[in-house]
């Protein structure tokens, strides 16, 4: 049974005089220079607390001057065993309130130790509790502060704590912008990668670098934290810097197979490992690491965007367009004989469609918002742009293109005959397209027009803030030529030779 913290009289008195002012530094009741830290807390102990509108630095004296609480609670280890403990420290929630902020508005916390260890804490872990900074553990004074979430797993009790990073809660608009529109299948994707041999507690296992995997399939590495979800529902948010230093293995020593897939490395602590890793979510992209799941269950788990159809893409680039009505029949599973990942939609009437909607070597699922389920158009005719990145083919429909952030530029160009024309062009910057297709934005591309003409555009021209892929000219849709409805309009820092009309294909060099 959960035990409620006992709040000392000193805490009640201190809270009664809080002013609520949005000060950003702590002013101790006694000047630091005249306060001698209590035995146990080192004189050089320091704690930084940072975030949006938050910049607090606490010295050893500052921490000791704050109202302290004694808490009787449980500390739960990685095996689920609970230990009753008595600890003392100050409330992070009360400290934030004193400084005009609120722990309830924090989407997550990064708890950082002096050795660089980082533990990310999602808001649901402290939603019904508080976070405490301990100065005493079971009667022993600590030399350096330690975090504590009462009755929660021990991995959130970080020793030698030096910094807390607070991530602000996103608005509904920001959250909507991060809706998942692409899912990659890890087990199939790593078939084309070289595994490294790593030591996992004395047992050598093949392991795949997460940095290499994301660079291969998504291009530039995301900078935002990555959410990891295990089969048992456990969730952990890891900073990008920590996440991309680690690996996933799909093999284990005999008797430990239930731990797979395992997020680990040879250097991280046991508390940072994630067993039975099922999903990774980063912005609008997700990665499925399992081997069998119903497609609707997968879509629900990652928050897949609703679309008229979805492209199921094989590792060789073959695509099958699946109407949304078929999704409820879908299942992803490993081929028992060959081991590759495949998808099927048993029970759905595919009519005369070749292959009956079965896909081998499934590596990517992508939402296609612009394909009408009633139109009987093929993916080839519905797509606006075909994009080729390494060995992957990605289709961009009109709806996909218009859903990306739009920019508008007034540009002039002078052709080889000396004629200058000016227009107002609206469309999408290259960096947004690169992000959507998982390409490195800092590279040259070949643009292919509807008549087959090719032009190579350098990275500096693509990334100029005034360059764009335009769908509108002077407020009207660009007049199509064949399938070509997009122009690449180069910044006025570049000549008309850098313009490309009626683009239908983008090939990343």
**pLDDT digit string, tens, across residues 491-507:** 999 998 999 999 999 99
Alpha-carbon separation of residue 278 from 201, 210, 235, 337 (angstroms): 22, 14, 10, 23
Beta-carbon contacts of residue 107 (< 8 Å; ≥ 6 apart): 122, 123, 167, 168, 169, 170
Beta-carbon contacts of residue 176 (< 8 Å; ≥ 6 apart): none
Torsion from C-alpha of 35, 41, 42, 46, nearest 10 degrees: -80
pLDDT of the residue at 235: 80
Residues in the chain, pLDDT under 50: 1-38, 170-177, 370-381
pLDDT of the residue at 412: 92
pLDDT digits (tens, 9 = 90+) for 170-211: 443 343 345 899 999 999 999 989 999 999 989 999 999 999
411 vs 489: CA distance, rounded Å: 8
Is residue 270 within 8 Å of 149, Cβ to Cβ? no
DSSP strand pairing (182-185 vs 285-288): parallel
All domains in the chain, ordered by first residue: 9-169 (3.90.420.10), 175-288 (no CATH), 293-377 (no CATH), 402-508 (3.90.420.10)
Among 126, 157, 163, 155, residue whose Cα is nearest residue 142: 157
Alpha-carbon separation of residue 230 from 234, 237, 243, 374 (angstroms): 5, 12, 15, 38
pLDDT of the residue at 78: 66
pLDDT of the residue at 10: 44
What totals of helices (H) and strands (E) does the chain contain, helices first? 12, 34
pLDDT of the residue at 354: 67
87 vs 381: CA distance, rounded Å: 66
pLDDT of the residue at 169: 58
């Amino acid at each position: 049974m959960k035990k409620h913290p006992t709040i000392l009289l000193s805490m009640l008195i201190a809270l009664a005089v809080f002013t609520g002012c949005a000060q950003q530094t702590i002013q101790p009741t006694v000047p630091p220079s005249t306060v001698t830290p209590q035995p146990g807390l080192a004189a050089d102990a320091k704690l930084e607390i940072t975030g949006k509108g938050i910049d607090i630095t606490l010295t050893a004296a500052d921490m000791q001057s704050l109202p302290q609480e004694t808490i009787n609670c449980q500390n739960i280890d990685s095996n689920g065993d609970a230990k009753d403990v008595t600890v003392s420290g100050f409330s992070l929630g009360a400290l934030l309130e004193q400084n005009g902020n609120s722990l309830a508005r924090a989407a997550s916390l990064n708890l950082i130790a002096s050795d660089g260890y980082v533990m990310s804490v999602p808001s649901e872990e402290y939603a019904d509790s508080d976070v405490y900074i301990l100065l005493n553990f079971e009667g022993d004074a600590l030399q350096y502060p330690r975090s504590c979430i009462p009755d929660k797993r021990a991995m959130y009790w970080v020793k030698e704590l030096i910094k807390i990073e607070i991530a602000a809660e996103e608005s509904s608009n920001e959250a909507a912008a991060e809706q998942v529109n692409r899912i990659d299948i890890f087990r199939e994707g790593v078939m084309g990668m070289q595994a490294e041999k790593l030591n996992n507690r004395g047992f050598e296992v093949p392991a795949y670098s997460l940095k290499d995997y994301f660079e291969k399939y998504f291009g530039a590495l995301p900078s935002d934290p990555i959410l990891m979800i295990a089969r048992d529902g456990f969730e952990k948010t890891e900073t990008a810097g920590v996440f991309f230093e680690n690996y996933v293995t799909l093999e284990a020593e005999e008797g430990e197979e239930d731990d797979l897939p395992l997020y680990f490395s040879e250097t991280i602590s046991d508390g940072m490992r994630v067993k039975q890793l099922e999903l990774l979510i980063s912005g609008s992209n997700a990665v499925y690491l399992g081997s069998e799941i119903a497609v609707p269950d997968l879509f629900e788990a990652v928050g897949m965007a609703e679309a008229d159809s979805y492209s199921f893409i094989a590792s060789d680039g073959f695509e099958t367009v699946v109407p949304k009505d078929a999704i409820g029949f879908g299942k992803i599973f490993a081929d028992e004989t060959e081991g590759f990942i495949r998808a099927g939609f048993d029970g759905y009437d595919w009519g005369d469609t070749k292959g009956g909607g079965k896909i081998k070597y499934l590596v990517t699922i992508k939402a296609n918002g612009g394909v009408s389920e009633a139109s009987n158009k093929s993916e080839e005719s519905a797509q606006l742009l075909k994009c080729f990145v390494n060995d992957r083919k990605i289709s961009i429909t009109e709806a996909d293109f218009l859903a990306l952030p739009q920019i508008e530029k007034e540009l002039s160009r002078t052709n080889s005959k000396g004629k200058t024309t000016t227009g107002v062009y609206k469309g999408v910057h290259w960096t947004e397209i690169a992000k959507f297709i998982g390409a490195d934005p800092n590279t040259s591309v070949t643009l292919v027009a509807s008549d087959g003409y090719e032009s190579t555009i350098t990275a500096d021209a693509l990334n100029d803030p005034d360059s764009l892929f335009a769908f509108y000219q002077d407020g009207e849709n660009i007049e199509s030529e064949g399938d070509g409805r997009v122009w690449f309009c180069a910044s006025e820092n570049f000549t008309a030779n850098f313009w490309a009309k009626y683009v239908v294909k983008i090939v990343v060099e």
